[in-house]
Amino acid sequence: MPLNRLCGLTFLAACVVSGQRTTPDVTFRAETNLMQVEVRVKGRDGKPVTGLDRTDFRLTENGVPQDIATLEYVGGFSAEAGPRNASRGSGGASAGSFRIYIATELAPPSAVCGSTAEYGLFDRGVRTFLEKLWRPGVEVSFNGTPFTADPETLRHTWELMRKYPNGRSEPGKPDWLPALITMSGTLQQGLECDDLPNDRLRRLARAGISDVGRVAVERYIDLARKLGGVAGKKVVVLLSYGLTLGDSHQFSLNRRENAGGIGRLAREALRSRVSFYTVSPRALTAPNSQLATGGRQGRAMEGLFAVAENTGGQAIHSTNDFSDVFRRVYSDYSDYYLLGYYPRDREEKGRLRKVNVSVTKPGVRTVTATKGYYEETPFADLTAAERKARLQLQALGPERYTGFPVRAGFEFFRVERGQVVVAYSVGIPAAKMPVKREKDRVTMDLKIAARAEGLAREQVPSVTEQAIHVGMKAEELEKAHADPVALFQFPGRMLLSPGKYEWKAVVRDERDGTTGSYQSVIDVPDLNGVGSPSSLLLTNQRIPKRKDEVTGVTSGAHEYVQQPVNVFRRGQTVFAVYDLYGVPPELLTSPPGPRVFLMFGGKPLPQPPFRKYDVTPLADQQSLSYVAVLDTNELETGDYNLIVALPNSENGISRTFTVVAQ
């Protein structure tokens, strides 16, 4: 049976998978702009009022009456008894289908933290929910595990989550949950020990994530959007240390500065029927009165209140029993009407739309979960902070972007303290390069974010960003368009420890937000052994060595710029650059010459056209740096393999490249 997969992100990125035990109907939402509002109607006695139809309701957006297209009454749950409405199961696309997505920043006690009271209370609350409060038909996901309504699977999954929080049961074995993608193991296995949220912010800042709060909101927006592909009501129970959205303590929709984050979250939650219930781990171990109300911690709590309030949920910070949140959810989503309508105003300019629902019958009162939402903001109208947060989210998440093709190449060289510099180059084919034309000139305005994250999820991901603004003559671009191998390339560097990494680059056109991406797994070698070689860099770009802003690989007096692909035109000069590390002192004083072989058609060329060889000993780093200069004028077009034999060793390094006609 095929899996229906929805990749969404909470603060700990995750994929939502509809598993084999339950196969919920997935709704593919067309651009109909159907909005759905949940309304509770009660009489003077406080009991739910049933039997109403569309004519009994009046719904307005900014005071303008809207036609109610759909109406459905959803029956109730009881936390202490079975569901009173059989339609609350997951067997169909009924509005009564119900799912709970539990998202947490906590992880089981580790060697780093030892036992934590917060996790113990969280674990007890989840167990109480599974053993006493869970009801048939309610599907549950833990941080992106497969949604299921099977009680045995739920209990088994929770035990795996506790035992293997990163999703891998044993080193070298397949993930028990291939879809689980966490932001980093450090977040799970270290940050829960921190006493202050700003410690967490500092750690993320080291990863290049400058505005954690905005990035988190973008993740919640993305999660709500992806959960919108699953029928029925979805509740996200978010256990978080807090969410700092800025210096203001006011997160009302009426404040224009919240339109980009909280306002867009309210909009997506309304469309997707998603509500957030937020809980602070500190609330589980301290009375509510002792929670911080000022400073950074206070603002972090205000952010959680904003997420809950503006998605129709609740911020629950007055209990030491985590299972109380599930009782509250059952109570809130019992006995309500679901009203669907198509807004009459189809234009989206980022404006606030206030939603109001009333009942024409006397003697009743209504409670509407949604107070309003902001329209989708055009990319051109996003603030610089919103654009930055969105780019960082795109780099951190698993999604691929296909607005234009992106390529990348990597080189590995050692720097001080044993770290490895990953010199990468991102390339875009000239014919696909997004540009703005102005008379006889064209300009390119791009942002590039690159992210490297260890496959073991044991470190905070490394994220780099760069802004590109280039101008050139239109005729030069036309020439490049006619060249099928021409690439615009943008080099960069990262410092990483040895290991395997998931590497991703996101390139965005800053004119309209069109985005392309490249993803790969890179294996960063350990270059601290005796005679360890770097990778073999091939490039036709050499510039004088710079003191600052080095983006390539340095050797002697020059910097060699890495390329995304090894394709060269006949006639170009190609530089082959490599280092040897851990070199014995006797070889530093009398460096051996390079042994370089050039293969073509599976056979070595008897006289490869190398014009020059340079070797630079670096005694303080116990390394030798080699540069070989290759003249391609004497080469035929085709594919070549350049092989370097290492001194005093049977091993070597190699790199393939292609020579094309001029």
Residue 141's H or E segment, with its range, is: strand 138-142
What gap in Å lies between CA 305 and CA 313, rounded to an integer?
Answer: 9
Q: Average pLDDT, stretch 182-187?
A: 28
φ/ψ of residue 327, rounded to 5: -60, -40
Q: Could you tell me the strand order of the sheet in which 595-600 lies?
A: 567-569, 652-660, 638-645, 595-600, 603-604
Q: Report pLDDT digits (tens) over 500-555.
A: 999 999 999 999 999 999 999 999 999 988 889 999 999 999 999 887 777 788 88
Task: Give the pLDDT band (50/70/90) at residue 409.
Answer: very high
Cα distance between residue 579 and residue 597, in whole Å: 17
Higher-scoring residue by pLDDT: 557, 179: 557
In three-state secondary structure terms, 658 is: strand
pLDDT in tens, 453-476: 888 766 677 888 999 998 999 999
pLDDT digit string, tens, across residues 438-450: 888 999 999 999 9
Helix residue ranges per DSSP H, 273-316: 281-285, 295-309
Residues 6 or more apart whose Cβ sits within 8 Å of residue 597: 604, 608, 642, 643, 644, 645
DSSP 511: T
Compute how many other C-beta atoms are within 10 angstroms of the C-beta atom of residue 115: 9
Over the Cα atoms of the chain, what is R_g? 29
Q: Which residue from 486, 479, 647 is spatially nearest to 579, judged by alpha carbons? A: 647
Q: b/e for 224-251, b at 16 or more Cβ within 10 A?
A: bbbbbbbbbbbbbbbbbbbbbbbeeeeb
Instruction: With CA atoms as reference, report the closest residue to 162 among 117, 128, 120.
Output: 120
368 pLDDT band, cuts 50/70/90, is: confident
